[in-house]
Structures are given as structure tokens and as C-alpha cells.
Chain A
Amino acid sequence: MIEVKNLVKDYGGHLAVDDVSFTINDGEVVGFLGPNGAGKTTTMNMITGYLSATAGSVSVAGFNVLEYPNEVKRRIGYLPEIPPLYTDMTVEEYLNFCYDLKKAKLPRGPHIEEICCLVKIDHVYKRLIKNLSKGYKQRVGIAQALIGNPEVLILDEPTVGLDPNQIIEIRNLITQLGKNHTVILSSHILSEVQAVCERIIVINNGKLVADDKAENLSKSLSKDHSLLARIIGPQKDVMRLIATIRGVEGVSATGVRESGAIEYKIDPHPEADIRRELFDRLSERHWPLIMLTSNELSLEEIFIELTSPKIPVSRKKKGED
């Protein structure tokens, strides 16, 4: 659906986007993750045709954005970081204006009504946009992006500045929209991307540093594959037992964490999955396993790992795919 090839944006010596390539398939919900100033917005602006690329190409549904800008723009609904709202208009006037501007073909009344119900702005329909709360303004921005029923939705930090309830509502809305749209969502909030997106593209300093499914990202980037297990049983015997499990490369007791249970740190081979066998063997001996967690990186830690300047994880990841 969206094909980005070797995209470069040079702001007079400052490389905002540096050789970024990725493909987004029909119906995917992709998260664009990166710290502030990483180049997310610039990349999105180039996809939507708002900015030109210094080099590289963007095509949407097979149409190159430079050669067929209108074909591309017709297929994209864009919510920029700051929603482009004319605050002196009512929601009704604004959405009708967007309808005209986008030359939408769907029947005007029902189409706008449907969008308003979907993003839940039907009860503020007659109000001036400047009098709406930030959450509602954001919704009007999303409604604007939905006009003309574009196949692709590009949402740039749609939940910035909203309160927790509004964030959850907008997230649910995006999940709902993801069912019948291709969605690109940018954010510097990891939990958001994790909650909504199937796939994550991480950008840092204009470079693509990772592109994978959320769970794969944490697996492949985590150098620490160890497990933490809390087991009730005699320490020496338990350790001896664990050491005999195939794939276990090391085990150590980290201490008593709760009464009667000792916590062990188990280092398995990166490829091995020892969890089932561990459980079976412990239950044979009637040593209860009361906790088993992975020491894998959380998305937060991956993010820091990927975007911290000291650790050049960088392009290797992409080559592996």
C-alpha cells in the first residue's frame, strides 16, 4: 500500500530523514516510534505530499507522490501533529469545508453524520471549534482525516496533550479505525504504540533503527534471555534439578523474596524454551512454581536501547529481516 524507498530529507546540512525505507501493507496498523526530533513528522509530511523529499521516493497504492500528488492525497487522511482546524468555524462548517476541499464523492449529509457518530462529536456539531476542549478538537481533527473515506490514515501524535480518559478513548477509536484502514500512527509514547499497533518502526536521528512486530522486537533485541522463577522447595535440590533441564546454561539463587519461596535466575540458551519442561519437572517433585517471568526488555527499555546514542544497534536489525 505504502512504499517508501531510500527517503532523505536534508534541511540545509541537517539530515532530518536519512535513507529510510519501508513498506506498509494493506490493512496494517503501524506505529512510528521515536524520540522528539527523530524525523517522524518529516517522514509523514513527505508521505502526505506536504514536503518534498531531497532524495528517494514515496508511493501510495502504486502512485508516486511527486508524479500523481492528487491520486496519493485522495487516498490519505492526515491528522498533523497540530490539527489543522479553523477555530472560527463550527464543527459543521469545518467538516463541510473539508468535504468540499477534498472533493469527496460520498453523499455529503450521511457521510459527515457517520463520521461524527464514529468519532463521537455529533453533540458538538453546531459549536464553534475554538470553544471545544482539546480532546474534542483532536476528534474533529480525526474526523477531518476520515472525510472522503481514505484508505490510509496517517495520525501524527494523536494523543499528545490529552488527559488519560481521552487518551484511552482516542486509542480505542484508532483501534476501531484500524479494522478497515491502513493506519500509520506516530508517537513517542511506547505504551500507546504497543496498545494499538501490530508493527513498530523505530526511527532515531532520521534513521530507521528497527522495523518488526512488537513482541519480536523485544525478543530479538533483548540480550538477556534469562527467566526469573520463584519456587517453593529445597534450594540445592531445586538448583540441581533445573541444571539438568535441556537448554539451561546456568542457574543461580537470588534469595528469598517471599516466605518459603526462593527466587532463581535461570539462563537458558537463547533458542531454547525451557518453560514447559521446567514446570513438568517441578510438578513431578511437588515443588510449586509460584512465579515465572521473563527478564526480557520491556518496550520502554528497547526504546531507550535503540535510541540512546551510545549503543549503535542500528541497521543490523533491518538487514536480518
Chain B
Amino acid sequence: MKAIFKRELKSYFTSPIGYIVLSVMWAYSTMLFVTLFSSGSPDITVIFSSMFSMILFLLPLLTMRTFSEEKRQKTDQLYMTAPTSLLGVVLGKFFAAVTVFLIGMSLTLLFEFIIMIYIVPQWLVYFSNIIGTTLMASAFIALGVFISACTESQIVSAIISFAFATVMMLLDVVVTLFNVSWITAAAEWFSFSDRYNTFTNGTVDISNILFFISLAVIFIFLTVRKLDKKRWA
């Protein structure tokens, strides 16, 4: 897992993808912070909640290549014929993407320190935000990795991931559009943004943590099965 993680993390920065994702995340969050700061508000939560949709659309860039490119270039033969576990391979790639995401979010820590010059920041709210974003991103990264394992084209992989991101965004609209109670209930239950927003409010709800972690685990498991299928089917 360590070897894959190292290779994968490095590969984000030997291609433009890592730089694009990081620069967009940093530029966007800095812009939000400057606006916030100039308005005199110390509430960093606004940055996190505003970044939700942007994160959903950036993450497919991180996950689109993970397995599709390996299949296309046939480099998957290397780890498929090496005495290593597929779970390790999947986790290595998953954590590499999560790490790039965390580097992208790291700037918010700097914002907290700048706020600290003026007032005592609400660290608990901040950490609740960080945990929420990371968990939500992890679930979405696991989904993206799974989609990538299902296709040989990184473009197709990205498009499907974008489609999921859009669905996630639209779920909230569905909630308001339909008056059928069970659809609303289902959409609300599944809504990333609803669950995510509880974190940005500073509430760490165990059911939300479990929701995102289970999603990540399920998609990592499905990815392993998808890769392993080649050897069994």
C-alpha cells in the first residue's frame, strides 16, 4: 500500500492535475477568506460551506485516472501480477487522493492563524468543519475510484463522477420540488449537502460520520471486487 500511495501521490505532481486542483482550491478559499476578512467576520464556516460544490466538481479530477489510466496503459498488469493485495492497491490510491485534497484544505489552517491575531478562533467549529469536509470528500473519492475502475477512459470516468456530483447537488432541489413524502425523505437521507452542512454548523453527528465512512468503505470494497473480478470471471 505504501509503495502505491507514494507513487500515486507523486504522479499527481508529475502531471498538471495536482497543481490544477490545488491552485483552484487555494485560489477559491483565499478569495472567500479575503472577502470574509474584509467584511470583518471571523466565521470561517462560510468558507467551508461555499466550497462544498466546488469540492464535488474538483474531486473527479483527482480520481478519474486512478484505475482507468492503468487499464488503458496496461500498467495494471504490474500490481495484478505482484504478490500484493488488491485492497492495499486500492487504499494506496484512495489515500493519495485524500492527501492531495487535505493539502488543498490546509490553507484554511493558515486562515485560522490569521484570525487568531485578532480574536480567539472557534477551534472546535473549525475541526468539525475539517472532519466533515474530509469525510464527505473521502466518500466521494471512493466513489470516483470505483467509477474509474469500471472504465478504461479517464474522460468517461470523470464525466460519470461529474454526473454523480450533479445528482448530489440536485438532491436538495428534489427535496424542495417533490411533495411526495418518501421521495423527500430518501433524498434528504442521501443528501451529501444536508449531512455536510451539519458539520459546517459545528455539529459532529455520529450518524453523519458513519454515513460518509460507510460510503467510502462500500466503494473501496466494490473497487476491490471489480478489480478482482478479472481473476475470477
Q: Do A and B come from one complex?
A: yes
Determine if B7 and A89 form an interchain contact, defined as CB atoms under 8 angstroms apart: yes
B14 at the interface (CB under 8 A from A): yes
Determine if B233 and A52 form an interchain contact, defined as CB atoms under 8 angstroms apart: yes
Q: How far is the CA of A144 from the CA of B11 in the complex (A)?
A: 19
Please give the distance in Å from A102's CB to the nearest CB on chain B.
5
Q: How far is the CA of A93 from the CA of B13 in the complex (A)?
A: 15
- Chain B residues whose C-beta falls within 8 Å of the C-beta of A52 in the assembled complex: 230-233
Q: Nearest chain-A residue to B14 (Cβ)? A: A88
- Chain A residues whose C-beta falls within 8 Å of the C-beta of B11 in the assembled complex: 86, 88
Partner of B230, one of A50, A70, A86, A100: A50
B110 at the interface (CB under 8 A from A): no
Determine if A51 and B230 form an interchain contact, defined as CB atoms under 8 angstroms apart: yes
Known: A86-B11, A88-B11, A89-B7. A101 touches B232 (CB 8 A): no
Partner of A50, one of B73, B75, B77, B84: B77
Q: Which of B1-54 contact A (CB under 8 A)?
A: 2-4, 6-7, 10-11, 14-15
Q: How far is the CA of A49 from the CA of B85 in the complex (A)?
A: 13
Please give the distance in Å from B162's CB to the nearest CB on chain A.
25
Please give the distance in Å from B231's CB to the nearest CB on chain A.
5
Determine if A100 and B2 form an interchain contact, defined as CB atoms under 8 angstroms apart: yes
- Chain B residues whose C-beta falls within 8 Å of the C-beta of A97 in the assembled complex: 3, 6-7
- Chain A residues whose C-beta falls within 8 Å of the C-beta of B117 in the assembled complex: none
Which of B3, B6, B15, B76 has the most A CB atoms < 10 Å from its CB?
B3
Which of B6, B80, B233 has the most A CB atoms < 10 Å from its CB?
B80
Determine if A48 and B81 form an interchain contact, defined as CB atoms under 8 angstroms apart: yes
Partner of B74, one of A49, A84, A98: A84
- Chain B residues whose C-beta falls within 8 Å of the C-beta of A256 in the assembled complex: none
- Chain A residues whose C-beta falls within 8 Å of the C-beta of B75 in the assembled complex: 84-86
Partner of B231, one of A49, A80, A102: A49
Determine if A80 and B2 form an interchain contact, defined as CB atoms under 8 angstroms apart: no
Q: Nearest chain-B residue to A75 (Cβ)? A: B83
Determine if B74 and A82 form an interchain contact, defined as CB atoms under 8 angstroms apart: yes
The 8 A CB mask of A175-206 against B (1 = contact, 0 = none) is: 00000000000000000000000000000000
- Some 22 contacts from A to B, beta carbons below 8 A apart, are A48-B81, A49-B80, A49-B231, A50-B77, A50-B230, A69-B231, A70-B83, A70-B84, A73-B82, A78-B77, A78-B81, A80-B77, A82-B74, A84-B77, A86-B11, A88-B14, A89-B10, A97-B3, A97-B6, A100-B3, A100-B6, A102-B82
B206 at the interface (CB under 8 A from A): no
- Chain A residues whose C-beta falls within 8 Å of the C-beta of B190 in the assembled complex: none
Please give the distance in Å from B32's CB to the nearest CB on chain A.
33
- Chain A residues whose C-beta falls within 8 Å of the C-beta of B232 in the assembled complex: 52
Known: A49-B80, A73-B83. A101 touches B3 (CB 8 A): yes
Q: Which of B109-141 contact A (CB under 8 A)?
A: none
Determine if B7 and A103 form an interchain contact, defined as CB atoms under 8 angstroms apart: no
Other than A50-B230, A69-B83, A101-B79, give 8 A-B pairs with Cβ distance below 8 A. A52-B232, A69-B231, A70-B84, A84-B74, A84-B75, A89-B14, A98-B82, A101-B78
Please give the distance in Å from B1's CB to the nearest CB on chain A.
10
Q: How far is the CA of A93 from the CA of B77 in the complex (A)?
A: 18
- Chain B residues whose C-beta falls within 8 Å of the C-beta of A89 in the assembled complex: 7, 10, 14
Q: How far is the CA of A242 from the CA of B6 in the complex (A)?
A: 76
- Chain B residues whose C-beta falls within 8 Å of the C-beta of A144 in the assembled complex: 78
Determine if A86 and B74 form an interchain contact, defined as CB atoms under 8 angstroms apart: no
The 8 A CB mask of B61-105 against A (1 = contact, 0 = none) is: 000000000000111111111111000000000000000000000
Determine if B81 and A49 form an interchain contact, defined as CB atoms under 8 angstroms apart: yes
Q: How far is the CA of A241 from the CA of B130 in the complex (A)?
A: 101
Please give the distance in Å from B2's CB to the nearest CB on chain A.
7
Q: Which of A127-150 contact B (CB under 8 A)?
A: 144
Please give the distance in Å from A182's CB to the nearest CB on chain B.
16
Known: A51-B230, A86-B11, A97-B3. A103 touches B74 (CB 8 A): no
The 8 A CB mask of B182-206 against A (1 = contact, 0 = none) is: 0000000000000000000000000
Q: Which of A55-97 contact B (CB under 8 A)?
A: 69-71, 73-74, 76, 78, 80, 82, 84-86, 88-89, 93, 97
- Chain A residues whose C-beta falls within 8 Å of the C-beta of B84 in the assembled complex: 70, 101-103
- Chain B residues whose C-beta falls within 8 Å of the C-beta of A88 in the assembled complex: 11, 14-15
Determine if B231 and A76 form an interchain contact, defined as CB atoms under 8 angstroms apart: no
Please give the distance in Å from A157's CB to the nearest CB on chain B.
13
